[in-house]
Amino acid sequence: MHRIYDLDRFGIVCIEDFNAGAMENKGLTTYNVSCILAHKDSSTDGRFKHVNSVIGHEYFHNWSGNRVTLRDWFEITLKEGFTNLREQLFSEHCYSETVERISEVNFLKSYQFPEDSSPLAHSIRPETIESVDNLYTVTVYEKGAEVIRMMKTILGDELFVKGTDHYFSKFDGKAVTSEDFREALSEASGIDLSQFRVWYEQKGTPSLEVVKNYYCKEKNAYIIVVKQIVPEQDNEKKMPYPIPIKFNLVGVESKKDLVPKSEEILLLKDFEQEFVIKGINENGVLSFLRDFSAPVSVKDFLSKEEILHLFKYDSNLYQKWEAVQRVFRDEIIRAYKSKAKQVTLEEDTKKCLECLVDTVDDYEYLAMALSLPTFQMRIRRVLTEMLEQTLSPGVREIAASCQIKL
């Protein structure tokens, strides 16, 4: 997705009291000083990263927003979601890919998921609005980026770049729609992406349930049955989402990935679907939704022993982080239930943490992996546990304050 800048000069103006982070006017980008200025003696690493990503975002808008623009305001997720993805990929290239992905997922789960489960839930391309300002939401930006990332996952890097090059060439100087974008990707890749319109039309976060997953020794195969639950829609028939699921099987005995990388994507297209993974010669633990390959929630299906197995042996660093976070959340819940004054990690968890520190040399990743789950993630999990026992007014009040729909 490397695109040549078409002007001799990239103009910048900084305003201290600008009421937005930045604005991508053609040839003269406007920035709030907080999004462009940083100093090595007084700014954190996070501040430098933020400046880098904001400048990248506005620069990328030269093509995804300016040279190829929108037919109308309702298509804003095409401009902002696509550019947000380009910004994310740029940051992943500049820094630790896994750390950046974890940061993106943390933000999505902490802010976009609550919006999706609140009265403010809307699709990434709303059909009606009260004012244009209502279109600038985390759903339009963050979920919009995730939807295009899913298409990239299905196509693969090479075909996705081929598709975006075709899109920019075909529509240079024109005003387009999200359908034009998807069709351009399909034309260049030969892969039908038409079902993705569901992501643009339906609201809410779909959830996945692994109904079955087991090893069939007689067939040398691993069977996975996945079901998707679609949130209620406004007077519309619910349609299944296309959901790419990156996965692998971590061998119980070999402790290694059992599925070749070329085959580690399952495409869920129906409400329930069975996948048969052939050529598997030993039992394994299912490493599911690697790299958070779709903006969905997943119902817990692994035992603590299986989670710790992934914690120790999963080759995917995002999945290791996810396993650490799940263990931490469970420990917090255990302490809450027992009314303990402090959380004391169990011995097997301590050993896994020691193993992680000994085998991973990315200190930024380790700092993130060893951090407790965000407050939003902790409070949502605690509330889920509480709701299994009671629906008292106090619980409802807490849930409402956290934008959690009961």
Q: Using CB atoms within 10 A of its CB, is residue 252 exposed (0-12), middle (13-18) or buried (19+)? A: middle
Tokens of 106: 């943390």
Active-site residue, 364 included: no
What is the pLDDT tens value at each position of the chain, 406 positions in all? 578 889 999 899 999 988 888 999 999 999 999 999 999 999 999 999 999 999 999 999 999 999 999 999 999 999 999 999 999 999 999 999 999 999 999 999 999 999 999 999 999 999 888 888 889 999 999 999 999 999 999 999 999 999 999 999 999 999 999 999 999 999 999 999 999 999 999 999 999 999 999 999 999 999 999 999 999 988 778 999 999 999 999 999 999 999 998 899 999 999 999 999 999 999 999 999 999 999 999 999 999 899 999 999 999 999 999 998 888 888 777 777 777 777 677 787 787 788 788 888 888 899 888 888 866 554 555 555 555 455 555 655 665 555 555 4
Say how far apart CA 270 and CA 240 lie, in whole Å: 6
Angle between helices 97-107 and 76-94 (to 10 degrees): 140
* 3-state DSSP assignment of residue 135: helix
Say which residues have a Cβ less than 8 Å from residue 374's Cβ, sequence separation at least 6: 106, 109, 110
Tokens of 109: 């789960």
Task: Quote the pLDDT of residue 392.
Answer: 56
pTM: 0.90
Which one is catalytic: 16, 24, 58, 218? Answer: 58
CB 245 within 8 A of CB 286: no
Tokens of 217: 């020794």
Q: Do domains 63-201 and 214-300 have the same CATH topology?
A: no
Q: Using CB atoms within 10 A of its CB, is residue 115 exposed (0-12), middle (13-18) or buried (19+)? A: buried
DSSP string spanning 64-76?
BTTTBEESSGGGH
Tokens of 374: 């965000």
Of 3.40.50.2300, 1.20.1260.10, 2.60.120.260, 2.60.40.1840, the CATH number of 214-300 is 2.60.40.1840
CB 39 within 8 A of CB 29: no
CATH 3.40.50.450 fits 63-201, yes or no: no
Domain boundaries, the chain: 63-201, 214-300
Angle between helices 45-60 and 76-94 (to 10 degrees): 130
Write down the residue that tokens 């890097």 correspond to.
Answer: 157
Task: Quote the pLDDT of residue 395.
Answer: 56
Sheet holding 207-216, edge to edge: 272-278, 221-229, 207-216, 297-298
Say how far apart CA 109 and CA 296 lie, in whole Å: 9
